[in-house]
Structure 1
Amino acid sequence: MPIHNADIAAIFEEMADLLEIENSNNVFRVRAYRNASRYLQEMGKDVRIMVQRGEDLTIIPGIGEDLANKIQEIVETGHCSVLDKLHKQLPSTITELLKIPGLGPKRVKTLYQELDIHTMEQLQRAVRDHRIQSLAGFGEKTEMRIADALAIYAGSTSRFKLATAAQYAEPLIAWLRTISGVQQAIIAGSYRRAKETVGDIDILITAAQKSPVMTSFCSYDDITEVLSHGPTRSSVILKCKLQVDARVVEHESYGAALHYFTGSKAHNIAIRRLGQEQGLKINEYGVFKGQRRIAGETEESVYQSVGLPFIPPELREDRGEIEAARSGHLPELIELGDLKGDLHAHSKASDGHATLKEMASAAQQCGFEYLAITEHSRQLTVAHGLDPTQLAKQIDEIDRLNEQLTEITLLKGIEVDILEDGSLDLPDSILARLDLVVGAVHSRFELSRAKQTERILKAMDHPHFTLLAHPSGRLIARRKPYDVDMLRIIRKAKERGCYLELNAHPERLDLLDIYCQAAKDEGVLISINSDAHSVLDFHNLRFGIGQARRGWLEKQNVLNTRSLQELKPLLKRTM
């Protein structure tokens, strides 16, 4: 079976979990596995290809010789001997329990030793029978929190983050296009609409009559189970548990099928209703006037049949796109190539993994005119945040480096912590020397809606505040957004003349699409940033672009589509 980055990352994460549950004293070893797992999930380059080409894996951040050898073993054999040894000591299912908020390694070990719990089902029964609260260090309130967390977990486990799904879906679609007789192959569904998570993958294919595409599809190396196999439709489960449904459709129905299987359901219903009003029947086979097919070969023809222009997939949520199309006010959505720079990135000075020069070179290769270096501030000690002296040193270093750089400019910034009282983590004297100040909430996520909102509003009143990073604080499927009045935040940004970030990191995709649209309506510019911590992270911007398109953003709504010359006055006006 082909090995994907996500597979290797999952193995390293499981090794770290098992070592922690086992009470390993080597915290550095645990941390190394976790860091390696995170880097592998975030990077766009395929590690399997690197191994096949004999490339040096130690160029990957956090990967030394030992981990490089383990990666090579996993790619070549499909497993890791060290993990096999750990499985002999603890059941492999036990690491699933760590996905429940409130269950750290110590508590999981207690559950295993005291109640012989090592599966989710056993944990659910123990909660139902109220056996958890009797354990030392737990109690009734903890048991109730575990019950709530189990309910949330049950509703989220069947979905994959968009970036994770991409690791499996994109190699598969590329492979399908090489099969004899295949003419078109495309991923539809929520993946095509760039939703932040997907439940499964829908693939549409057109092919010559004798093409072996369905047989080949069902023999793909990454498959663990074939649910159904037919000449025009097959359904399989990949080893990562992602279900993939593939359909072969006729050329004259391709556009109608693509429209139907892209969705959303609400959008499709609205289009069908428009068709019915005009005496048309619209389904996955085409657009029909009585028994006669009048459209359906292309998606454009489907929309034209009901008097509408083509509506981009990311907008198809029945949130006003049909009305906008009818009135001629569909947005001209932003493209990745519209970005001129990135306003949120880290270097080795804090928790990044490359030098300033290396980050500048990588950004330049993306075609950027500028890159803002925004290390963490001193409050975030876990990320080696900078104090005023360290930041002053970096400011001088960036100035010297800019004298050498010819095709890109490094901007001087900081990702400064917004403290609980709304003040910023660094003094005005050092913030005044920067090109931009990115404020971020990294603590006290549990504050009430009123207190969290006032905290951020006060920070935005600071004269040096430029940009609010990852505004909701959420981590997809890991941490809910903190409770905040986002509309007040957006309107404060408008009043203050500052900006909001759309953080493109696949774990965040924060700002939410509905708030991107609200910011656009209020005239507040959004900065689409990578939050890069290595030279490999800029590829994540494509996921941010997908989120921005779902939020109706156009080029002019995005701060960092401006040239450096156009950007500088916009940054200065917030200082």
Structure 2
Amino acid sequence: MALHNSEIADRFDRLADLLEIEGANPFRVRAYRNAARTVRGYPRSMADLLADDVDLTELPDIGDDLAKKIEGLVSNGELPLLDEVEERTPPALSELMKIQGLGAKRVRALHEAINIETLEDLRAAVESGQVRAVEGFGEKSEDKIRRRLKKFSGKDERIKLSEAEQIAAPLVKYLEKANGLKEIVVAGSFRRRKETVGDLDILITAKTKNNVMEHFTSYEDIEEVASRGETRSTVYLRCGMQVDLRVVPQVSFGSAQHYFTGSKDHNIAVRKLGIKKGYKINEYGVFEGDKRIAGETEKSVYASVDLPLIPPELRENRGELEAARENQLPDLVRLEDLRGNLHTHTDATDGRNSLKSMAAAAAEFGLEYLAITDHSKHLKVAHGLDEKRLKQQLQAIDKLNDELSGIRLLKSIEVDILQDGKLDLADSVLEQLDLVLCAVHHKFDLSKQKQTERILRAMDSPHCHILAHPSGRLINRREAYDIDLEKILEAAAARSCAVELNAQPDRLDLTDEGCRMARELGVKVSIAADAHSARGFDTLRFGVDQARRGWLEADDVLNTRPLKALLEILKR
């Protein structure tokens, strides 16, 4: 069974950690980290790409050497360099770097000074007071590590939606080949499109004669069959994820979908509405006494309590039942509503492809306009543009726009918000652009007040059109920096700024709650791919999922506008 993208990325991340602990060349370390990021966030599995003869070097940050390493991992699960490094450096040291504040140098210092190799070693050393005695640490550092250890579980219990999709998609494709299978739905938080997923609940209907359970429990990615029955089986996959498969009668398929999609709070609220009408609502149907009166479709379940069908993304008991009762459910945004992408990188900074290639890919995806937002000069790790290089890019955009048909490139930049809230480029430079995307890329540890004030000062600039990835979080990897989001969104509304919903699967930033807050305050949201390669626009669908969970309609989204209307809005 080929490794999932997350498993390949984990190996690259561990290799990068251990090399960094050893003091290896920073560019070499960064290459493996960037490769891990690319693979982990890519919407298609590496195995599928190789099966389709896709050249992996077309992916961001993947050169010939890394492409060969990915091929080896896909074909036999082996990464010889990692094995070699683990022989000389304890592999458990990589886990220590997951503790916020423990970088490679500090992990190496702890290892060399007091022989720390594992999380348990670190916990014991903290409690015995040994850490404070290590040069460069002290009592305050030891106390910070103690508090962070208490929050750290060591393993993420929920995985990102994109990773769950890479696990679910081949499994569903496999199950569809079972004899007698009729319909199949992956329910649970996966169907509600939550940004993280704990396990998979799969529902099917089948003919009386079928081999579904036998077929399911023979899946090659299964580590353990926990239970197997005629109508329900539970397995654990090699990656550790639990999968429950249920065969349900056709007459109960709708009520089963409703029940197992959840959320729990939403289902309880619906059941209470049923009780008021004298009905019992469960996974088998809607019953009046012993008589089933609904349940074959989800629509019939909701109709039994006088409600229209509520989209799965809204089922969190956050006002959707009341909105449905008043016929006020939002007409949720769809992928096909998007007219352009307002966050794109090229090979001028940390992207993989040229201006022309990115324009062609966006046009093929169906977009009408594309903002080229390479990084500004402060982000040296991404080879950010200074004034001279930006001017050259603007000239290239003008020239290419004269040649293009069907798509327009916007002259833009992703400009760093400096610690004092100033923007990384002068007003005289920014005023030449169609759009300015402003972002925090450093000093994540400022206090809530200082971080909030920093962003507010940046939005005071008349050139700040969109605040990019507002919280800076990386799901399961980096916590959001501390900000007063409501205050920032109120300021955005007052200044006619938009905020970004970054569709990268490891960001999905804004959160769904943030999207809804923006909508209520009248702040437009840009659903942005943050594309670093010609294949990078596929992530937009994850942004749309998040936007739908945040109740956003097409009118709430900035880049659903045609180009002329967008340019009018950007005039601020």
Give yes or no for TM over 0.5: yes
Q: Deviations over 1:23-74 (max 9, x none)?
A: 33x3333222222111111222332123334443322232222222222221
| Structural mapping, 1:81-230, within 5 Å | 81-154=80-153, 157-230=156-229
Letter in 1 for 2:4: H
Distance 1:71 1:516 in 2: 36
Letter in 2 for 1:14: R
Structure 2: runs of 5+ lacking an equivalent: none
Go from structure 1 to structure 2 and tell me whether the alpha carbon gap of 1:65 and 1:463 turns closer, same or farther (over 3 Å shift).
closer
| Structural mapping, 1:333-412, within 5 Å | 333-412=332-411
Correspondence for 2:32:
33
Correspondence for 2:19:
19
User: Which deviates more, 185-194 or 126-135?
Assistant: 126-135
Correspondence for 2:506:
507
Correspondence for 2:516:
517
Tell me by how many angstroms 1:562 deviates.
0.9
Tell me by how many angstroms 1:314 deviates.
0.8
Go from structure 1 to structure 2 and tell me whether the alpha carbon gap of 1:216 and 1:162 turns closer, same or farther (over 3 Å shift).
same
Go from structure 1 to structure 2 and tell me whether the alpha carbon gap of 1:542 and 1:396 turns closer, same or farther (over 3 Å shift).
same
Tell me by how many angstroms 1:129 deviates.
3.7
Q: Deviations over 1:354-410 (max 9, x none)?
A: 111111111111100000001111121122111111111111110001011111110
SS of structure 2 residue aligned to 1:92 = coil
| Structural mapping, 1:318-329, within 5 Å | 318-329=317-328
Alignment identity in percent? Answer: 55
Go from structure 1 to structure 2 and tell me whether the alpha carbon gap of 1:245 and 1:139 turns closer, same or farther (over 3 Å shift).
farther
User: Which deviates more, 438-447 or 55-64?
Assistant: 55-64
Distance 1:518 1:189 in 2: 25
Correspondence for 2:62:
63
Correspondence for 2:238:
239
Distance 1:86 1:457 in 2: 46
Distance 2:52 2:498 in 1: 43
Distance 2:50 2:147 in 1: 43
Tell me by how many angstroms 1:504 deviates.
0.8
Q: CA contact under 8 A between 2:99 and 2:148: conserved in structure 1?
A: yes
Distance 1:479 1:11 in 2: 18
Q: Matched residue pairs, number?
A: 572
Q: CA contact under 8 A between 1:338 and 1:555: conserved in structure 2?
A: yes
Go from structure 1 to structure 2 and tell me whether the alpha carbon gap of 1:292 and 1:130 turns closer, same or farther (over 3 Å shift).
farther
SS of structure 2 residue aligned to 1:99 = coil
SS of structure 1 residue aligned to 2:303 = helix
Q: CA contact under 8 A between 2:58 and 2:352: conserved in structure 1?
A: no
Go from structure 1 to structure 2 and tell me whether the alpha carbon gap of 1:414 and 1:218 turns closer, same or farther (over 3 Å shift).
same
Structure 1: runs of 5+ lacking an equivalent: none
Distance 1:362 1:162 in 2: 24
SS of structure 1 residue aligned to 2:442 = coil
Letter in 2 for 1:56: D
Distance 1:88 1:442 in 2: 35
Letter in 1 for 2:551: W
SS of structure 1 residue aligned to 2:147 = helix
Distance 2:94 2:270 in 1: 45
Distance 2:525 2:119 in 1: 41
Distance 1:125 1:208 in 2: 58
Go from structure 1 to structure 2 and tell me whether the alpha carbon gap of 1:57 and 1:478 turns closer, same or farther (over 3 Å shift).
closer
Distance 1:155 1:320 in 2: 35
Correspondence for 2:433:
434
Letter in 1 for 2:86: H
Q: CA RMSD in A?
A: 1.7
Correspondence for 1:476:
475
Tell me by how many angstroms 1:116 deviates.
4.2
Distance 1:9 1:366 in 2: 27
Distance 1:208 1:92 in 2: 50
Tell me by how many angstroms 1:166 deviates.
1.4
Q: Deviations over 1:268-300 (max 9, x none)?
A: 111111111111111111111111111111111
Distance 2:66 2:447 in 1: 43
SS of structure 2 residue aligned to 1:15 = helix
Go from structure 1 to structure 2 and tell me whether the alpha carbon gap of 1:71 and 1:479 turns closer, same or farther (over 3 Å shift).
closer
Tell me by how many angstroms 1:99 deviates.
1.2
Distance 1:210 1:117 in 2: 58
Letter in 1 for 2:383: H
Whether 2:285 is the aligned partner of 1:286: answer: yes
Letter in 1 for 2:484: D
Distance 2:74 2:155 in 1: 29
Q: CA contact under 8 A between 2:376 and 2:415: conserved in structure 1?
A: yes
Q: Deviations over 1:209-239 (max 9, x none)?
A: 2322122212211121222222221222222
Go from structure 1 to structure 2 and tell me whether the alpha carbon gap of 1:227 and 1:125 turns closer, same or farther (over 3 Å shift).
farther
Go from structure 1 to structure 2 and tell me whether the alpha carbon gap of 1:544 and 1:102 turns closer, same or farther (over 3 Å shift).
same
